[in-house]
């Protein structure tokens, strides 16, 4: 440390090397430069390593919802989808839940069942025609709009397409 | 000292520090009051978690495919697996209770005041790290409970304005919960948190030794404050016997209640109602009362406010008065928060 007087040495032991002490300031500065450089480089690389690939956007995939014939107009259909996806260094089967509805048998709406509040899965209650989230008591109408409870935004609507009579959604 | 002891001491010089650590004078009013055993008991709880945790690592498989089966195997097939996992599981709850009670004792007796601020701050950090231990630990079995608690937990991080989604991704190691999340939580739970906690405990204890116990506040205690007993064996034996009682309780709970394991994590399950561990229930309940636009207030601002209040406490409450009945503001605030947390927990139970 700078400006700290060194304790006197026991004469029997010897004496401080005055010549070497002249370089003390310089050595102190060198220590701080070398040490902070090493720490900054190590910590910086470590942080980048830890962030890893976590900020890469999720790859969207088309998942099969079902044949359009199986989706009766007017009623809400819960669909559990599965897809093969890369999870870090593994390729795994991922699953999830969506709700699909059509009013006229021509245009289809698919909702991600994930609550827009904190990510629990909502359930469709046919009697009241609402989506209910069991976690923090949230309700959404059949359009996915918030009726009550804490969610800040509607249920997420997924992009859809129909190919050969099969409904697909982009999740 | 034995010959071996002498040999070691000549080479390490350890006997002096050890002797002074063990012969530390503990005031009689402290030794006679069980409230003062809470800190030591929390430390014993931590040691139990370290030992059982190391044992569990010998069988645990930190992968989404393997985690659940390995925990199931530990619980039902490894000899005494139910016991090791049970003590670890119930020990986590015991740690939260003991650390919280220890903090309440410190709070109501105002022992956070000068010159013991650093001891209070390390204590606050240790309490929050204990909760972080719980949060990272119960994902590890990769069962429904852990999966959904982590999903909600990472969405809570995601509700922070501006940097939320970034924070949530960093926490999960990607946009979805998966392998990267599990290894992150695992490394945090078994290496990062224990190291931090061990360092903080050492600082906490050295600070306690440096300042000594806070002076007595009641007349009765004051009369007793000039009589001392040595840390070893008088104090140590009390804590050891209580620690043994704690271990017996944890063993009894593991034996009588079994150790819970939900169904394997299922991201598309419709019949599972996600609920956190009991010590997060008050927070879970509080989140119900804040509508959409105020989401970040409930998820982030309130916890930050509570943490911030605890951090600044010793720098704001600086008077000499330490008797809780003469300090209506801090005592009232303490009782209010304690009751609030208990009521919210009961509402969510």
pLDDT in tens, A81-116: 999 988 888 888 889 999 999 998 889 999 999 999
Is it the case that residue B142 has pLDDT exceeding 60? yes
Taking contacts as CB-CB distances below 8 angstroms, the residues of chain B near A81 are 268
Nearest to B291 among A81, A113, A150 (CB): A150
CB contacts of A118 in chain B (<8 Å) are 151-152, 155-156, 159, 287, 299
- On the question of pLDDT at B31 being above 60, the answer is yes
Domain annotation for chain B: domains and CATH numbers: 26-259 (1.20.810.10)
Q: Which of B64, B165, B185, B270 to mutate to test the interface with A (most CBs of A within 10 A)?
A: B270
Residues B15, B9: Cα–Cα separation, whole Å: 6
CA distance readout (Å), B183 to A57, A64, A87, B167: 20, 31, 12, 17
Domain A62-170: which topology? Rieske Iron-sulfur Protein (2.102.10)
Q: What is the pLDDT of residue A4?
A: 63
Burial of B139 per CB tally in 10 Å (0-12, 13-18, 19+):
buried
Confidence of residue B349 (pLDDT cuts 50, 70, 90): confident
Q: Is the peptide bond before B233 cis (omega within 30 degrees of 0)?
A: yes
- Choose the closest CB to A95 out of B180, B268, B295: B268
- Whether A52 sits inside 8 A of B173 (CB atoms) is yes
Question: Does residue B117 register a pLDDT over 50?
Answer: yes
Sorted by sequence, the CB contacts under 8 Å of residue B69 that are 6+ apart come out as B61
**Tokens at B328, concatenated:** 């209506």
CA-CA distance, A109 to A91, in Å (whole number)? 29
Phi and psi angles of residue A74, each rounded to the nearest 5 degrees, phi first: 90, -20
Contact A58 B175 (CB under 8 A): yes
Helix-strand-coil percent breakdown of chain B, rounded to 5?
Answer: 75, 0, 25
Q: Where do the structural domains in chain A lie, given as residue ranges?
A: 1-56, 62-170
């Amino acid at each position: 440390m700078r400006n700290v007087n060194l304790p006197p040495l026991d004469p029997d032991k010897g004496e401080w090397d005055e010549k070497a002490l002249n370089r003390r300031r310089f050595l102190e500065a060198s220590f701080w430069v070398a040490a902070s450089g090493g720490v900054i480089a190590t910590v910086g690389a470590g942080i980048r390593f830890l962030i890893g690939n976590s900020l890469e956007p999720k790859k969207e995939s088309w998942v099969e919802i079902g044949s359009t014939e199986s989706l009766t107009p007017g009623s809400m259909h819960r669909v559990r989808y599965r897809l093969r996806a890369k999870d870090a260094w593994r390729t795994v089967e991922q699953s999830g839940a969506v709700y699909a509805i059509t009013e006229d048998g021509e245009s289809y709406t698919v909702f991600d069942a994930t609550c827009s509040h904190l990510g629990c899965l909502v359930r469709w209650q046919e009697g009241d025609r609402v989506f209910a989230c069991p976690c923090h008591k949230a309700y959404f109408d059949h359009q996915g709009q918030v009726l009550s409870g804490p969610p800040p935004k509607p249920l997420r609507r997924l992009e859809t397409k129909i190919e050969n009579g099969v409904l697909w959604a982009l999740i | 000292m034995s010959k071996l002891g002498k040999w070691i001491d000549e080479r390490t010089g350890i006997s002096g520090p050890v002797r002074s650590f063990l012969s530390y004078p503990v005031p009689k009013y402290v030794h006679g009051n069980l409230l003062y055993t809470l800190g030591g008991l929390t430390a014993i709880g931590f040691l139990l978690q370290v030992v059982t945790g190391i044992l569990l690592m010998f069988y645990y498989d930190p992968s989404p495919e393997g985690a659940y089966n390995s925990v199931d195997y530990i619980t039902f097939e490894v000899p005494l697996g139910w016991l090791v996992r049970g003590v670890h599981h119930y020990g986590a709850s015991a740690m939260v209770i003991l650390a919280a009670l220890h903090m309440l004792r410190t709070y109501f007796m105002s022992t956070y005041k000068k010159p013991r601020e650093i001891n209070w701050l390390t204590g606050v950090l240790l309490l929050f790290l204990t909760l972080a231990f719980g949060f990272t630990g119960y994902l590890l079995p990769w069962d429904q409970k852990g999966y959904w608690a982590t999903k909600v937990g990472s969405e809570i991080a995601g509700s922070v304005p501006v940097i939320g989604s970034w924070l949530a991704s960093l926490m999960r190691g990607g946009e979805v919960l998966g392998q990267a999340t599990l290894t992150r939580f695992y490394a945090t739970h078994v290496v990062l948190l224990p190291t931090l906690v061990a360092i903080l405990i050492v600082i906490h204890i050295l600070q306690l030794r440096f300042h000594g116990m806070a002076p007595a506040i009641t007349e009765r205690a004051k009369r007793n404050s000039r009589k001392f007993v040595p840390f070893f064996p008088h104090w140590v034996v009390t804590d050891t016997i209580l620690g043994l009682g704690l271990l017996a309780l944890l063993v009894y709970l593991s034996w009588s209640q079994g150790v819970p394991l939900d169904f394997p994590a299922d991201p598309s399950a419709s019949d599972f109602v996600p609920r956190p561990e009991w010590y997060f229930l008050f927070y879970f309940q509080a989140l119900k009362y804040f509508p959409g636009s105020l989401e970040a207030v409930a998820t982030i601002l309130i916890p930050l406010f509570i943490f911030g209040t605890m951090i600044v406490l010793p720098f704001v409450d600086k008077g000499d008065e330490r008797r809780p009945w003469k300090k209506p503001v801090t005592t009232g605030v303490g009782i209010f928060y304690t009751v609030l947390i208990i009521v919210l927990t009961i509402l969510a139970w």
